[in-house]
Amino acid sequence: MRQPPTLYVHTPFCRAKCRYCAFYSTPVGPGGPPQAALSRFLAALEAEMDQQALAFRPWGPAPSLFFGGGTPSLLGAQGLARVLEALRQRFPLAPGAEINPGGQPGLRHA
């Protein structure tokens, strides 16, 4: 039996680039990404979700959702809310799915 793939959202922004990090990320300092860069990223992410949603649909609900890459909290509360809403509109999550907001203990989806 095939398992549905997990969802992963890569955040390309970080405060500073760590020497050991192999992820693509753009250091933006403590102030976070400029609003224009954040808006472009979120629009591109939503467009990518639109394309991937069609291929994902036959797999059924995702068992987990992970955020990673740079520092997801640099998206800000509104940015994270926008990403979560866009995901919710395009990808079903299984009841009890794990949601890991990047470096934090996983939460369970009701």
Q: What's the total number of domains in the chain? A: 1
Which tens digits make up the pLDDT trace of 87-98? 989 998 889 888
pTM of the model: 0.82
Q: Is residue 1 part of a domain?
A: no
Residue ranges making up the domain that contains 45: 7-108
Which tens digits make up the pLDDT trace of 60-81? 899 999 988 888 888 988 999 9
Contact 28, 14 (CB under 8 A): yes
Q: Is residue 89 part of a domain?
A: yes
Q: Which of 93, 99, 77 is nearest to 9 (CA)?
A: 99
Q: Going along 1-110, which residue ranges are E strands?
A: 7-11, 13-14, 26-27, 62-69, 93-100, 107-108
Positive or negative, the CA dihedral 58, 64, 68, 72 is positive
Q: What is the largest CA-CA distance in the chain?
A: 46
Q: Is residue 2 part of a domain?
A: no
